[in-house]
Structure 1
Protein backbone atom coordinates (compact mmCIF):
# COMPACT_ATOMS: atom_id res chain seq x y z
CA UNK A 1 0.00 0.00 0.00
CA UNK A 2 1.31 3.45 -0.93
CA UNK A 3 2.56 5.49 2.03
CA UNK A 4 -0.01 8.11 3.06
CA UNK A 5 0.24 11.13 5.29
CA UNK A 6 -1.76 10.41 8.44
CA UNK A 7 -1.63 13.37 10.85
CA UNK A 8 -3.39 11.51 13.67
CA UNK A 9 -5.86 9.73 11.38
CA UNK A 10 -6.55 5.97 11.56
CA UNK A 11 -3.78 4.39 9.45
CA UNK A 12 -4.73 2.26 6.43
CA UNK A 13 -4.40 -1.42 7.30
CA UNK A 14 -5.24 -4.84 5.84
CA UNK A 15 -8.97 -4.12 5.71
CA UNK A 16 -8.42 -1.05 3.53
CA UNK A 17 -6.10 -2.99 1.22
CA UNK A 18 -8.57 -5.86 0.91
CA UNK A 19 -11.30 -3.39 -0.01
CA UNK A 20 -9.05 -1.76 -2.63
CA UNK A 21 -8.14 -5.16 -4.08
CA UNK A 22 -11.81 -6.05 -4.57
CA UNK A 23 -12.52 -2.62 -6.03
CA UNK A 24 -9.65 -3.03 -8.50
CA UNK A 25 -10.66 -6.55 -9.44
CA UNK A 26 -14.31 -5.76 -10.15
CA UNK A 27 -16.07 -3.99 -12.99
CA UNK A 28 -14.06 -1.10 -14.50
CA UNK A 29 -14.72 2.22 -12.77
CA UNK A 30 -14.37 4.37 -15.87
CA UNK A 31 -17.47 6.56 -16.20
CA UNK A 32 -18.78 5.56 -12.77
CA UNK A 33 -19.38 7.70 -9.69
CA UNK A 34 -17.99 6.51 -6.37
CA UNK A 35 -18.59 7.54 -2.76
CA UNK A 36 -16.32 6.51 0.13
CA UNK A 37 -18.10 6.59 3.48
CA UNK A 38 -15.83 7.31 6.46
CA UNK A 39 -12.80 7.95 4.27
CA UNK A 40 -10.20 8.51 7.01
CA UNK A 41 -6.86 9.03 5.27
CA UNK A 42 -8.62 8.87 1.90
CA UNK A 43 -6.72 5.77 0.79
CA UNK A 44 -9.74 3.99 -0.76
CA UNK A 45 -11.12 7.16 -2.35
CA UNK A 46 -7.74 7.93 -3.91
CA UNK A 47 -7.51 4.36 -5.22
CA UNK A 48 -10.96 4.72 -6.82
CA UNK A 49 -9.84 7.90 -8.57
CA UNK A 50 -6.63 6.24 -9.74
CA UNK A 51 -8.71 3.36 -11.12
CA UNK A 52 -10.50 5.78 -13.42
CA UNK A 53 -13.75 6.66 -11.66
CA UNK A 54 -15.63 9.54 -13.30
CA UNK A 55 -16.09 11.21 -9.90
CA UNK A 56 -15.16 10.36 -6.33
CA UNK A 57 -16.84 11.83 -3.26
CA UNK A 58 -15.70 11.07 0.29
CA UNK A 59 -17.26 11.76 3.69
CA UNK A 60 -15.80 11.81 7.19
CA UNK A 61 -17.02 13.26 10.48
CA UNK A 62 -13.49 14.19 11.58
CA UNK A 63 -12.09 17.54 10.38
CA UNK A 64 -8.56 16.17 10.71
CA UNK A 65 -9.44 13.24 8.45
CA UNK A 66 -10.99 15.60 5.90
CA UNK A 67 -7.81 17.69 5.76
CA UNK A 68 -5.69 14.55 5.60
CA UNK A 69 -7.73 12.98 2.77
CA UNK A 70 -7.67 16.20 0.77
CA UNK A 71 -3.91 16.43 1.16
CA UNK A 72 -3.39 12.81 0.14
CA UNK A 73 -5.58 13.23 -2.95
CA UNK A 74 -3.62 16.34 -3.91
CA UNK A 75 -0.31 14.51 -3.40
CA UNK A 76 -1.54 11.63 -5.56
CA UNK A 77 -2.60 14.02 -8.31
CA UNK A 78 -6.26 12.92 -8.36
CA UNK A 79 -9.53 14.71 -7.76
CA UNK A 80 -11.56 13.62 -4.73
CA UNK A 81 -14.39 15.76 -3.34
CA UNK A 82 -13.87 15.32 0.41
CA UNK A 83 -16.76 16.54 2.56
CA UNK A 84 -17.07 16.97 6.32
CA UNK A 85 -20.09 15.04 7.57
CA UNK A 86 -21.63 11.71 8.48
CA UNK A 87 -21.82 8.85 5.99
CA UNK A 88 -25.61 9.34 5.99
CA UNK A 89 -25.20 12.68 4.21
CA UNK A 90 -24.54 10.71 1.05
CA UNK A 91 -28.32 10.26 0.98
CA UNK A 92 -28.59 13.96 0.15
CA UNK A 93 -26.56 13.49 -3.06
CA UNK A 94 -27.48 11.99 -6.40
CA UNK A 95 -27.28 8.17 -6.29
CA UNK A 96 -23.81 6.72 -6.77
CA UNK A 97 -22.72 3.84 -8.99
CA UNK A 98 -20.37 2.46 -6.33
CA UNK A 99 -20.46 2.87 -2.54
CA UNK A 100 -17.36 1.78 -0.62
CA UNK A 101 -17.14 1.67 3.15
CA UNK A 102 -14.68 0.57 5.81
CA UNK A 103 -16.80 1.48 8.86
CA UNK A 104 -15.97 1.33 12.57
CA UNK A 105 -16.83 -2.29 13.38
CA UNK A 106 -14.89 -3.32 16.50
CA UNK A 107 -17.22 -4.38 19.37
CA UNK A 108 -16.19 -2.15 22.25
CA UNK A 109 -17.52 -2.23 25.81
CA UNK A 110 -16.72 -0.47 29.04
CA UNK A 111 -14.12 -3.04 30.12
CA UNK A 112 -11.70 -2.38 27.26
CA UNK A 113 -8.35 -0.86 28.22
CA UNK A 114 -8.22 1.82 25.53
CA UNK A 115 -5.16 3.30 27.24
CA UNK A 116 -3.11 0.41 25.85
CA UNK A 117 -3.89 1.44 22.27
CA UNK A 118 -1.05 3.58 20.86
CA UNK A 119 -1.91 7.09 19.61
CA UNK A 120 -0.81 6.22 16.08
CA UNK A 121 -3.76 3.79 15.84
CA UNK A 122 -6.01 6.80 15.33
CA UNK A 123 -9.07 8.16 17.14
CA UNK A 124 -11.60 5.87 18.83
CA UNK A 125 -14.36 7.00 16.47
CA UNK A 126 -12.50 5.35 13.58
CA UNK A 127 -12.87 1.82 14.97
CA UNK A 128 -15.44 1.81 17.80
CA UNK A 129 -18.55 0.03 16.51
CA UNK A 130 -20.44 0.08 19.79
CA UNK A 131 -21.18 -2.85 22.07
CA UNK A 132 -21.88 -5.31 19.24
CA UNK A 133 -19.79 -3.65 16.53
CA UNK A 134 -22.87 -2.77 14.51
CA UNK A 135 -23.45 0.87 15.46
CA UNK A 136 -22.86 1.93 11.85
CA UNK A 137 -23.34 -1.40 10.08
CA UNK A 138 -27.04 -1.81 10.89
CA UNK A 139 -28.27 1.61 9.67
CA UNK A 140 -25.90 1.49 6.70
CA UNK A 141 -27.20 -1.88 5.52
CA UNK A 142 -30.78 -0.63 5.82
CA UNK A 143 -30.30 2.60 3.89
CA UNK A 144 -27.58 1.93 1.32
CA UNK A 145 -30.05 1.00 -1.47
CA UNK A 146 -31.14 4.65 -1.45
CA UNK A 147 -27.55 5.72 -2.18
CA UNK A 148 -27.15 3.39 -5.16
CA UNK A 149 -28.05 4.00 -8.77
CA UNK A 150 -29.66 1.16 -10.74
CA UNK A 151 -27.03 -1.58 -11.20
CA UNK A 152 -24.95 0.15 -8.51
CA UNK A 153 -22.88 -1.81 -6.00
CA UNK A 154 -21.82 -1.57 -2.38
CA UNK A 155 -18.42 -2.87 -1.27
CA UNK A 156 -18.32 -3.18 2.51
CA UNK A 157 -15.44 -4.54 4.60
CA UNK A 158 -15.89 -5.78 8.16
CA UNK A 159 -14.66 -8.27 10.74
CA UNK A 160 -16.13 -11.58 11.81
CA UNK A 161 -16.54 -10.09 15.29
CA UNK A 162 -19.29 -7.76 14.08
CA UNK A 163 -21.32 -10.58 12.48
CA UNK A 164 -20.69 -10.80 8.74
CA UNK A 165 -23.75 -13.01 8.30
CA UNK A 166 -26.06 -10.38 9.75
CA UNK A 167 -24.81 -7.80 7.26
CA UNK A 168 -25.45 -10.21 4.39
CA UNK A 169 -28.96 -10.90 5.67
CA UNK A 170 -29.82 -7.22 6.15
CA UNK A 171 -28.55 -6.29 2.71
CA UNK A 172 -30.59 -9.06 1.11
CA UNK A 173 -33.65 -7.99 3.07
CA UNK A 174 -33.07 -4.48 1.69
CA UNK A 175 -33.40 -5.91 -1.81
CA UNK A 176 -29.75 -6.19 -2.85
CA UNK A 177 -28.08 -9.21 -4.49
CA UNK A 178 -25.38 -9.97 -1.96
CA UNK A 179 -22.33 -12.20 -1.77
CA UNK A 180 -18.96 -12.44 -0.04
CA UNK A 181 -16.42 -11.10 -2.53
CA UNK A 182 -13.23 -11.76 -0.54
CA UNK A 183 -12.00 -13.03 2.82
CA UNK A 184 -8.67 -12.75 4.59
CA UNK A 185 -7.33 -13.89 7.94
CA UNK A 186 -5.01 -11.41 9.65
CA UNK A 187 -3.26 -11.18 13.04
CA UNK A 188 -4.62 -8.81 15.66
CA UNK A 189 -3.38 -5.25 15.57
CA UNK A 190 -3.22 -3.00 18.64
CA UNK A 191 -6.95 -2.20 18.67
CA UNK A 192 -8.17 -5.80 18.69
CA UNK A 193 -5.37 -6.85 21.03
CA UNK A 194 -6.79 -4.37 23.56
CA UNK A 195 -10.25 -5.89 23.04
CA UNK A 196 -9.17 -9.55 23.16
CA UNK A 197 -10.20 -10.33 26.74
CA UNK A 198 -13.60 -8.73 26.28
CA UNK A 199 -14.14 -10.64 23.03
CA UNK A 200 -13.21 -13.86 24.83
CA UNK A 201 -15.59 -13.07 27.69
CA UNK A 202 -18.44 -12.45 25.23
CA UNK A 203 -17.83 -15.73 23.43
CA UNK A 204 -16.91 -14.06 20.14
CA UNK A 205 -13.28 -15.15 20.42
CA UNK A 206 -11.84 -18.55 21.35
CA UNK A 207 -9.43 -18.27 24.26
CA UNK A 208 -5.90 -17.63 23.06
CA UNK A 209 -6.74 -17.01 19.41
CA UNK A 210 -5.25 -13.80 18.08
CA UNK A 211 -6.33 -13.54 14.47
CA UNK A 212 -9.51 -12.35 12.80
CA UNK A 213 -11.34 -13.01 9.57
CA UNK A 214 -12.07 -10.00 7.38
CA UNK A 215 -14.66 -10.09 4.61
CA UNK A 216 -15.60 -7.77 1.79
CA UNK A 217 -19.33 -7.95 1.05
CA UNK A 218 -20.55 -7.04 -2.42
CA UNK A 219 -24.22 -6.01 -2.67
CA UNK A 220 -25.75 -5.01 -6.02
CA UNK A 221 -28.93 -3.14 -6.85
CA UNK A 222 -30.76 -4.79 -9.73
Structure 2
Protein backbone atom coordinates (compact mmCIF):
# COMPACT_ATOMS: atom_id res chain seq x y z
CA UNK A 1 0.00 0.00 0.00
CA UNK A 2 1.41 3.44 -0.89
CA UNK A 3 1.82 6.10 1.77
CA UNK A 4 -0.81 8.32 0.14
CA UNK A 5 -3.31 5.45 0.02
CA UNK A 6 -2.59 4.57 3.62
CA UNK A 7 -3.02 8.18 4.70
CA UNK A 8 -6.38 8.45 2.94
CA UNK A 9 -7.71 5.45 4.89
CA UNK A 10 -6.74 6.85 8.30
CA UNK A 11 -8.11 9.68 10.35
CA UNK A 12 -5.26 12.19 10.63
CA UNK A 13 -6.41 15.37 12.36
CA UNK A 14 -4.20 18.46 12.62
CA UNK A 15 -1.45 17.99 15.16
CA UNK A 16 -1.11 14.23 14.57
CA UNK A 17 1.79 13.05 12.39
CA UNK A 18 0.43 11.77 9.08
CA UNK A 19 2.02 8.74 7.35
CA UNK A 20 4.87 9.80 5.07
CA UNK A 21 7.95 8.24 3.45
CA UNK A 22 9.46 7.34 6.82
CA UNK A 23 6.23 5.50 7.67
CA UNK A 24 6.35 3.64 4.37
CA UNK A 25 9.98 2.61 4.91
CA UNK A 26 9.19 1.28 8.37
CA UNK A 27 6.08 -0.51 7.11
CA UNK A 28 8.19 -2.22 4.45
CA UNK A 29 10.68 -3.38 7.07
CA UNK A 30 7.87 -4.55 9.35
CA UNK A 31 6.34 -6.64 6.57
CA UNK A 32 9.60 -8.54 6.25
CA UNK A 33 9.49 -9.62 9.89
CA UNK A 34 8.00 -13.03 10.66
CA UNK A 35 5.19 -12.41 13.12
CA UNK A 36 4.26 -15.74 14.63
CA UNK A 37 0.74 -16.06 16.00
CA UNK A 38 0.37 -14.02 19.14
CA UNK A 39 3.68 -12.17 18.77
CA UNK A 40 3.67 -9.11 21.03
CA UNK A 41 4.60 -5.79 19.42
CA UNK A 42 5.11 -2.33 20.86
CA UNK A 43 4.69 0.73 18.61
CA UNK A 44 6.42 3.74 20.19
CA UNK A 45 5.13 7.11 18.95
CA UNK A 46 2.20 5.59 17.08
CA UNK A 47 0.69 8.80 15.65
CA UNK A 48 -2.27 7.72 13.54
CA UNK A 49 -1.60 4.08 14.41
CA UNK A 50 -0.53 3.08 10.88
CA UNK A 51 2.22 0.68 12.01
CA UNK A 52 0.18 -0.74 14.87
CA UNK A 53 -2.75 -1.51 12.57
CA UNK A 54 -0.49 -3.17 10.00
CA UNK A 55 0.90 -5.50 12.67
CA UNK A 56 -2.55 -6.21 14.13
CA UNK A 57 -3.82 -7.25 10.69
CA UNK A 58 -1.11 -9.94 10.70
CA UNK A 59 -2.23 -11.33 14.02
CA UNK A 60 0.21 -9.60 16.38
CA UNK A 61 -0.89 -8.53 19.84
CA UNK A 62 -0.20 -4.82 19.62
CA UNK A 63 0.32 -2.10 22.18
CA UNK A 64 0.77 1.43 20.84
CA UNK A 65 2.15 4.41 22.75
CA UNK A 66 2.18 8.15 22.18
CA UNK A 67 2.85 11.15 24.39
CA UNK A 68 0.18 13.12 22.51
CA UNK A 69 -3.35 12.70 23.83
CA UNK A 70 -4.65 13.65 20.40
CA UNK A 71 -2.58 10.92 18.75
CA UNK A 72 -3.80 8.36 21.30
CA UNK A 73 -7.41 9.22 20.53
CA UNK A 74 -6.74 9.16 16.78
CA UNK A 75 -5.05 5.75 16.88
CA UNK A 76 -7.91 4.35 18.96
CA UNK A 77 -10.48 5.65 16.49
CA UNK A 78 -8.51 4.27 13.52
CA UNK A 79 -8.29 0.86 15.21
CA UNK A 80 -12.03 0.90 15.85
CA UNK A 81 -12.79 1.93 12.27
CA UNK A 82 -10.56 -0.89 11.02
CA UNK A 83 -12.13 -3.39 13.46
CA UNK A 84 -8.71 -4.29 14.80
CA UNK A 85 -7.75 -4.95 18.41
CA UNK A 86 -4.96 -2.56 19.41
CA UNK A 87 -4.26 -1.35 22.94
CA UNK A 88 -3.38 2.36 22.66
CA UNK A 89 -1.88 4.05 25.72
CA UNK A 90 -0.67 7.53 26.62
CA UNK A 91 3.02 7.51 27.55
CA UNK A 92 6.53 6.57 26.46
CA UNK A 93 8.72 3.49 26.80
CA UNK A 94 9.49 4.28 30.43
CA UNK A 95 5.81 3.94 31.29
CA UNK A 96 5.97 0.24 30.32
CA UNK A 97 9.45 -0.44 31.67
CA UNK A 98 8.47 -3.74 33.34
CA UNK A 99 7.23 -5.36 30.10
CA UNK A 100 9.10 -7.00 27.22
CA UNK A 101 8.20 -7.51 23.58
CA UNK A 102 8.98 -9.67 20.56
CA UNK A 103 9.15 -6.61 18.34
CA UNK A 104 9.44 -2.87 18.97
CA UNK A 105 8.86 -0.37 16.17
CA UNK A 106 9.31 3.38 16.41
CA UNK A 107 9.12 6.46 14.25
CA UNK A 108 10.11 9.07 16.85
CA UNK A 109 10.48 12.83 16.37
CA UNK A 110 13.93 13.32 14.82
CA UNK A 111 14.12 16.70 13.07
CA UNK A 112 16.99 18.89 14.37
CA UNK A 113 15.63 22.14 15.74
CA UNK A 114 17.17 25.48 16.72
CA UNK A 115 15.14 25.23 19.93
CA UNK A 116 16.95 23.47 22.77
CA UNK A 117 13.75 22.12 24.32
CA UNK A 118 11.37 19.64 22.78
CA UNK A 119 7.91 21.22 22.38
CA UNK A 120 5.43 20.20 25.04
CA UNK A 121 2.46 20.75 22.73
CA UNK A 122 1.50 21.78 19.21
CA UNK A 123 2.15 20.19 15.80
CA UNK A 124 5.96 20.54 16.06
CA UNK A 125 5.93 18.06 18.92
CA UNK A 126 5.59 15.34 16.27
CA UNK A 127 8.93 16.17 14.63
CA UNK A 128 11.13 18.62 16.61
CA UNK A 129 13.80 16.80 18.63
CA UNK A 130 16.39 19.30 19.87
CA UNK A 131 19.50 20.71 18.16
CA UNK A 132 20.91 17.29 17.21
CA UNK A 133 17.55 15.62 16.54
CA UNK A 134 18.21 12.96 19.16
CA UNK A 135 16.18 14.10 22.19
CA UNK A 136 13.58 11.36 21.74
CA UNK A 137 15.61 9.02 19.57
CA UNK A 138 18.17 8.43 22.32
CA UNK A 139 15.48 7.47 24.82
CA UNK A 140 14.25 4.78 22.42
CA UNK A 141 17.80 3.50 21.89
CA UNK A 142 18.48 3.50 25.64
CA UNK A 143 15.32 1.53 26.42
CA UNK A 144 15.37 -0.93 23.53
CA UNK A 145 17.54 -3.69 25.04
CA UNK A 146 15.46 -3.94 28.21
CA UNK A 147 12.21 -3.82 26.20
CA UNK A 148 13.12 -6.75 23.94
CA UNK A 149 12.92 -10.44 24.71
CA UNK A 150 15.87 -12.65 23.65
CA UNK A 151 15.77 -12.75 19.86
CA UNK A 152 13.49 -9.69 19.83
CA UNK A 153 13.81 -7.07 17.10
CA UNK A 154 13.81 -3.27 17.11
CA UNK A 155 12.86 -1.42 13.91
CA UNK A 156 13.64 2.28 14.14
CA UNK A 157 13.42 4.98 11.45
CA UNK A 158 15.05 8.40 11.52
CA UNK A 159 16.90 10.97 9.45
CA UNK A 160 20.61 10.55 8.77
CA UNK A 161 20.89 14.18 9.92
CA UNK A 162 20.69 12.76 13.47
CA UNK A 163 23.73 10.57 12.96
CA UNK A 164 23.22 7.02 11.76
CA UNK A 165 26.52 5.86 13.26
CA UNK A 166 25.57 7.36 16.62
CA UNK A 167 22.41 5.25 16.66
CA UNK A 168 24.31 2.09 15.75
CA UNK A 169 26.94 2.72 18.43
CA UNK A 170 24.32 3.36 21.09
CA UNK A 171 22.35 0.22 20.25
CA UNK A 172 25.44 -1.97 20.00
CA UNK A 173 26.74 -0.53 23.26
CA UNK A 174 23.60 -1.80 24.98
CA UNK A 175 24.21 -5.34 23.70
CA UNK A 176 22.08 -5.35 20.54
CA UNK A 177 23.27 -6.39 17.08
CA UNK A 178 22.35 -3.42 14.87
CA UNK A 179 22.64 -2.53 11.18
CA UNK A 180 21.06 -0.22 8.61
CA UNK A 181 18.20 -2.17 7.08
CA UNK A 182 16.79 0.33 4.55
CA UNK A 183 17.69 3.72 3.12
CA UNK A 184 15.88 6.30 1.00
CA UNK A 185 16.49 9.91 -0.02
CA UNK A 186 13.56 12.31 -0.01
CA UNK A 187 13.35 15.97 -1.06
CA UNK A 188 13.49 18.37 1.86
CA UNK A 189 10.02 18.96 3.26
CA UNK A 190 8.64 22.33 4.38
CA UNK A 191 10.13 22.14 7.89
CA UNK A 192 13.66 21.31 6.75
CA UNK A 193 13.51 23.81 3.87
CA UNK A 194 12.68 26.53 6.37
CA UNK A 195 15.74 25.53 8.45
CA UNK A 196 18.32 25.02 5.70
CA UNK A 197 20.37 28.12 6.62
CA UNK A 198 20.55 26.98 10.25
CA UNK A 199 21.28 23.37 9.24
CA UNK A 200 24.12 24.50 6.95
CA UNK A 201 25.53 26.83 9.58
CA UNK A 202 25.67 23.91 12.02
CA UNK A 203 27.22 21.50 9.52
CA UNK A 204 24.20 19.19 9.34
CA UNK A 205 23.69 19.61 5.58
CA UNK A 206 25.78 20.82 2.65
CA UNK A 207 24.81 22.60 -0.57
CA UNK A 208 25.57 19.39 -2.49
CA UNK A 209 23.02 17.23 -0.66
CA UNK A 210 19.96 16.56 -2.88
CA UNK A 211 17.65 15.91 0.05
CA UNK A 212 17.22 14.13 3.34
CA UNK A 213 18.38 10.55 3.76
CA UNK A 214 16.12 8.36 5.87
CA UNK A 215 17.31 5.11 7.42
CA UNK A 216 15.63 2.15 9.05
CA UNK A 217 17.81 0.55 11.72
CA UNK A 218 17.19 -3.10 12.59
CA UNK A 219 18.57 -4.28 15.93
CA UNK A 220 18.33 -7.73 17.49
CA UNK A 221 18.71 -8.73 21.11
CA UNK A 222 21.00 -11.76 20.93
Instruction: State the match for 1:80 in structure 2.
Output: 86
Deviation at 1:7, TM superposition (A): 1.3
Equivalent residues, number: 210
- The reply to whether residue 41 of structure 1 matches residue 76 of structure 2 is no
- 1:101 and 1:155 in contact (8 A); partners too: yes
Give the corresponding residue for 2:106.
101
2:154 is the alignment partner of 1:154: yes
Give SS of 1:134's match: coil
Q: Cα 1:178–1:208, aligned 2, differ >3 Å: closer, same or farther? A: closer
What is the Cα-based RMSD across aligned positions, in Å? 1.6
Q: CA deviation digits over 1:5-38, x for unaligned, max 9?
A: 1111111110011001000012235321000001
Q: Work out whether 1:68 is the aligned partner of 2:74.
A: yes
Contact 2:159 2:212 in 1 (8 A): yes
Equivalent positions of 1:1-222 (< 5 A) are 1=3, 2=6, 3=8, 4-8=10-14, 9-53=16-60, 55-92=61-98, 94-110=99-115, 123-207=123-207, 209-222=209-222
Q: Distance in 1 between matches of 2:57 and 2:44?
A: 18
Distance 1:125 1:29 in 2: 34
What whole-Å deviation, never above 9, does each CA across 1:115-146 have from its counterpart, x for those lacking one? xxxxxxx7111101111101012222122111
Secondary structure of 2:43 counterpart: strand
**Aligned equivalents of 1:143, 1:201: Cα separation in 2:** 32
Give a deviation string over 1:35-72, Cα, whole Å, max 9, x none.
0001111111111111221x100111111111100011
**How many angstroms apart in 2 are the aligned matches of 1:128 and 1:87?**
18
Distance 2:113 2:36 in 1: 35
Change beyond 3 A, Cα 1:59–1:85: same
Deviation at 1:80, TM superposition (A): 0.7
8 Å Cα contact 1:70/1:82 also seen in 2: yes
- Residues 186 and 211 in structure 2, CA contact (< 8 A), matched pair in contact too: yes
The DSSP-based 3-state class of the residue aligned with 1:70 is helix
Q: For the residues of structure 2 that align with 1:43 and 1:198, how far apart are their CA atoms?
A: 32
Query: Structure 1 stretches of 5 or more lacking a match?
Result: 112-121
Encode CA deviations 1:176-211: one digit per residue, 9 max, x unaligned: 011111111111112222222211111111126451
So what's the TM-score if we normalise by structure 1? 0.90
